[in-house]
Amino acid sequence: MKIKSIDVRVLKVPLDEPYTAGGRAVGANWHVMAEVTTEDGVTGFGYIVALNELFIGTVATATRELAPLLTGMSVAEPEAAWRKLARAGDWIGPGGLLHYAIAPLDIAIWDAFGKSLNLPISRMLGGTRDRLPVYASDGFWYSLSLDELAASARRAAEAGFRAIKLRVGHEPLPEGEVRRVQAASDAAGPGVSIMVDATETWTVTRAIRTGKALQEAGVVWIEDPVSHTDIAGMARVAGSLDVPVATGEHLYGISDFTRLLEARATGVALIDLGRIGGVTPWRHVASMAHGFGVQVGGHVLPEIHVHLLSAVPNARVVEYVPRSAALLQTMPEIADGVLIVPSGGGFGLELDQDAVRRFTV
C-alpha cells in the first residue's frame, strides 16, 4: 500500500449554460486533481473544484510541491500523511491555500486506501447507512424570473428530488423572497421541501425579519443569512428563528467550527472539503458537531460527500451540484429523493479518461 507516484493536473470543464453566482460570472468548473498510485498498482484520485481560474494554478503548484513528501508512505495512514503535509506547509497555514492544496492528495489517498481493501469509504468511516436524502442545488439562481424558477423547480421534482435550494437575498422586501419560495413550491408540488441560501447578503436585522417571513412560507432551512465572520450575528439569527440556520462552508479549520458551535450559531454545520483540507479533517469536524447535537452537511462534491455523510450519525442531507460529472463515467444514483452510496472500493468512482485528457489544461 506504499505510495509510488503522484500525478497532479488542472482541468477546465466548460459549461453549456454559464451563470452568475455571488455576483461573479461562471463559465467553467476548474479542477485541481491528484492521482495517487501505490507500488502494487492501485490508483486513487481526488480533486477540488472552483468556479473561476484565479489561483487555480497556484493551488496546483502547491499540490505538486507537497506531493513528493508522500512517496513511500502507506495509503493506510491518511492521518499521518495529512499531518506531514500540514506541518510542511504550516508557514502559509492553517487554512487557505494550504488546505486547498492538501485536499486533492488527501481525498486521493482515501480513495486508494478503499480500493486496496475493496471497501467503500462510507463503510471504512462507520457505515451508518447506504443512502441519504439529497437536494437539488443547481439552477435556482437569484437571476431567474419567477417563471424560470418555477420551471427549474418542476424539472427537479420530475427528476426525483424531494428537496430544492433557492438562492435569495436580492429582493428589496421580504415579500419578494416569499414570492420566489411560493413560485418554486407550487411548481415542484407537494412533498418537495424548499431550502434557501442568502449567500451572506443580509444584515442581522434583515435576516431575522426575512427569515421569519420565509419560515412562515414553509422553508426548512436558511443558509448563510449573514457574513460567516459575524458569528455573534449568526447566533442572533439562529436564536430568533424556528427553522435551522445552515452555515460553515466558508470555514477553514476545526477551531473555526469550534467557535461556531460554541456560539450556538448553526443548526446544520456545512463542511467544504477543499477549505477544510479533505476527508481527514472533515470527519473530525463532523464528530465535534455530533457532540454539540448539531447536524452536518457537505458543500458541493456530492459524489464524495455521499460517502462521508452516510458514515456519520448526524448527517442531514447531501447537496447535489454535479460539477465533476463530465469527468466521471457515472455519478451516484438518485432514487426517490435519496442519493445511493456507490458500492465499489474507495469512492466507487471511475474517471472518464477521454474526458480527463480533453479537459486537461
Whether 282 is covered by a domain: the verdict is yes
Q: Which domain holds residue 109?
A: 3-118+351-359
Whether 149 is covered by a domain: the verdict is yes
**112 and 126 co-located in one domain:** no
**230 and 110 co-located in one domain:** no
pLDDT tens-digit profile of 234-292? 999 999 999 999 999 999 999 999 999 999 999 999 999 999 999 999 999 999 999 99
Cα distance between residue 124 and residue 344, in whole Å: 12
Cα distance between residue 181 and residue 328, in whole Å: 33
Whether 49 is covered by a domain: the verdict is yes
Tally of domains in the chain:
2
**128 and 245 co-located in one domain:** yes
pLDDT of 22: 66
Within 10 angstroms of residue 53's Cβ, the number of other Cβ atoms is 13
**98 and 139 co-located in one domain:** no
Whether 345 is covered by a domain: the verdict is no
**105 and 190 co-located in one domain:** no
Whether 346 is covered by a domain: the verdict is no
**254 and 127 co-located in one domain:** yes
**15 and 157 co-located in one domain:** no
Whether 39 is covered by a domain: the verdict is yes
**106 and 228 co-located in one domain:** no
Residues of the chain with pLDDT > 90, as a percent, come to 96
**133 and 100 co-located in one domain:** no
**196 and 82 co-located in one domain:** no
pLDDT tens-digit profile of 91-100? 999 999 999 9
**264 and 335 co-located in one domain:** yes
Whether 61 is covered by a domain: the verdict is yes
**92 and 61 co-located in one domain:** yes
pLDDT of 113: 98
Q: What is the pLDDT along the chain (361 residues), one digit of tens a residue?
A: 999 999 999 999 999 888 877 677 889 999 999 999 999 999 999 999 999 999 999 999 999 999 999 999 999 999 999 999 999 999 999 999 999 999 999 999 999 999 999 999 999 999 999 999 999 998 898 889 999 999 999 999 999 999 999 999 999 999 999 999 999 999 999 999 999 999 999 999 999 999 999 999 999 999 999 999 999 999 999 999 999 999 999 999 999 999 999 999 999 999 999 999 999 999 999 999 999 999 999 999 999 999 999 999 999 999 999 999 999 999 999 999 999 999 999 999 999 999 999 999 9
Whether 23 is covered by a domain: the verdict is yes
Torsion angles phi and psi, residue 65, rounded to 5: -70, -35
CATH assignment of the domain containing 56: 3.30.390.10
CATH assignment of the domain containing 136: 3.20.20.120
